[in-house]
């Protein structure tokens, strides 16, 4: 294939600051617009500024940016702004996910539905605070999804480039939404199969976190088929490995790092690969315990420890760690097989390690 056009190096440490600056500028613009509608919308602006700008790894725009660069795309602030739109898709998914899971916190702060329920309660308004919080979270999540379109299209990029990227952007948002539904379905139906857990991980996280952002950047750069194929070969296994690491953290992680209470995924009854592997490998007593305690919102620290013991003693934790290693190795092999801009290749290798390493 034709060698990508050489492009000058980028200050990698500065990329996150540029993404944050693009998000802050857009949110300031939206705050000004909402202020002209009604002063009550200041609470919406405050909540979304805090939610979007506080914390977050910025992994999706980073993968998209380096996918763009790897295909020879030149650095510019317009492309950073366009790819920052992925953070509004992420914010929408997290706000809705927290509501569906009845999570109290996100990144160490009250989740959006809890924040607005507290606002209702403090003001002494009519009706149920919880209902107001839930309605607010649905609407703010939807607003973030609308804003993701607005930021992508208002970035100032060549409309032809945006048109190339649009099908990838649309398919990504469809995939993460149906992945969320399959996750909810698995919990409701108590489907504990490894097959179902793997499919949920693929659509809810793997494609959405790594593959589609890479392909979005590739589309903006006009990348050839060989590069797009390599990005899929790298992105799908790496995205699944990332989700498996996240699933382990949801059970065994330190709340100081995860921003959520210890064992929250167990209280929410998430049917992850880790849990499916435990069901498959444990004995009858272990399966009965998992069935009885998984998804119990009142699960205490002792109950969390019991379930952790089942997961560990069944070999499910070790099996999941081995799968993370295999998937990461497959991703790196796919990346090594294609010609990319050197700096981008190096960063994508580093991102693979950062996304999947043990957090100990």
pLDDT tens-digit series, residues 93-128: 999 999 998 889 888 899 999 999 999 999 999 999
Domain that holds residue 230: 13-352
Confidence class for position 204, pLDDT limits 50, 70, 90: confident
Could you tell me if residue 359 is inside a domain?
Answer: no
| Residue 75 near residue 7 (C-beta atoms within 8 A) | yes
- 3-state secondary structure at position 269: coil
Instruction: State the CB neighbour count (10 A cutoff) for residue 127.
Output: 9
On whether the CB atoms of residues 357 and 325 are closer than 8 A, the answer is no
Answer yes or no: is pLDDT of 241 > 90: yes
pLDDT of residue 86 exceeding 60, the answer is yes
Q: How many angstroms from the chain centroid is the CA of residue 129?
A: 28
For the cut 60, the answer to whether the pLDDT of residue 5 exceeds it is: no
Q: SS3 for 56-74, per residue?
A: CCCHHHHHHHHHHHHCCCC
Instruction: Give one DSSP letter per residue of 128-176, joined into a string.
Output: -HHHHHHHHHHHHHHHHHHHHHHHHHTS---HHHHHHHHHHHHHHHHHH
Element (H, E) at 5: none
Does residue 312 form part of some domain? yes
In a domain, 3, yes or no: no
pLDDT at 208 over 70: yes
Confirm whether 1 is domain-assigned: no
* pLDDT recorded at residue 9: 64
Task: Report d(CA 257, CA 261) in Å as an integer.
Answer: 10
**What's the CATH number where 148 sits?**
1.10.600.10
> For the chain, what is the domain count?
1
Find the helix or strand (DSSP H, E) in which 28 lies: helix 12-35
Q: Is the pLDDT of residue 253 over 90?
A: no
To the nearest whole number, what is the mean pLDDT of the chain?
A: 93
- 358 located within any domain: no
* pLDDT score of 48 more than 90: yes
Residue 216 has pLDDT above 70, yes or no: yes
Helix axes 225-252, 316-336, angle to 10 degrees: 160
Q: Which residues are 105's β-sheet partners? A: 110
Q: Mean pLDDT throughout 171-198? A: 93
**pLDDT at 176 > cutoff 50:** yes
* pLDDT higher than 90, residue 7: no
Q: How confident is the model at residue 4 (pLDDT cuts 50, 70, 90)?
A: very low
Task: Tell me the percentage of the chain whose pLDDT exceeds 90.
Answer: 82
- Tell if the pTM clears 0.75, that is, is over it: yes
The whole-number pLDDT of residue 152 equals 98
Residue 3 pLDDT class (50, 70, 90 cuts): very low
């Amino acid at each position: 294939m034709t060698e990508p056009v050489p492009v000058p190096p980028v200050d990698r440490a500065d990329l996150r600051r540029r993404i944050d600056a693009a998000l802050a500028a857009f949110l300031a613009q939206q705050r000004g617009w909402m202020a002209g509608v009604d002063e009550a919308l200041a609470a919406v602006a405050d909540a979304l500024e805090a939610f979007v700008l506080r914390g977050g790894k910025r992994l999706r725009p980073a993968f998209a940016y380096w996918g763009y660069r790897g295909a020879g795309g030149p650095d510019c602030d317009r492309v950073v702004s366009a790819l920052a739109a992925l953070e509004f898709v992420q914010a929408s998914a997290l706000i809705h996910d927290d509501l569906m899971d009845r999570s109290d916190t996100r990144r160490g702060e009250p989740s959006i539905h809890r924040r607005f329920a507290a606002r209702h309660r403090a003001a002494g308004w009519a009706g149920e605070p919880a209902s107001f919080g839930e309605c607010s979270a649905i609407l703010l999540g939807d607003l973030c999804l609308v804003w993701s379109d607005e930021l992508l299209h208002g970035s100032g990029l060549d409309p032809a480039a945006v048109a190339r990227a649009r099908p990838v952007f649309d398919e990504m948002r469809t995939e993460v939404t149906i992945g969320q539904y399959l996750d909810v379905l698995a919990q409701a139906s108590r489907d504990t199969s490894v097959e179902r857990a793997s499919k949920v991980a693929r659509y809810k996280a793997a494609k959405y976190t790594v593959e589609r952002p890479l392909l979005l950047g590739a589309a903006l750069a006009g990348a050839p088929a060989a590069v797009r194929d390599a990005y899929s070969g790298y992105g799908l296994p790496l995205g699944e490995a990332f989700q498996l690491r996240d699933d382990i953290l949801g059970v065994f992680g330190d709340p100081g790092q995860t921003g959520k209470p210890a064992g929250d995924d167990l209280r929410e009854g998430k049917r992850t690969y880790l849990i499916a592997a435990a069901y498959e490998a444990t004995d009858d007593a272990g399966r009965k315990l998992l069935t009885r305690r998984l998804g119990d919102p009142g699960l205490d620290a002792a109950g969390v420890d019991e379930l952790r013991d089942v997961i560990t003693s069944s070999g499910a934790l070790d099996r999941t760690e081995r799968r993370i290693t295999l998937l990461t190795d497959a991703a790196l092999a796919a990346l090594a097989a294609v010609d990319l801009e050197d700096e981008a290749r190096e960063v994508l290798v580093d991102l693979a390690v950062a996304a999947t390493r043990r957090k100990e």
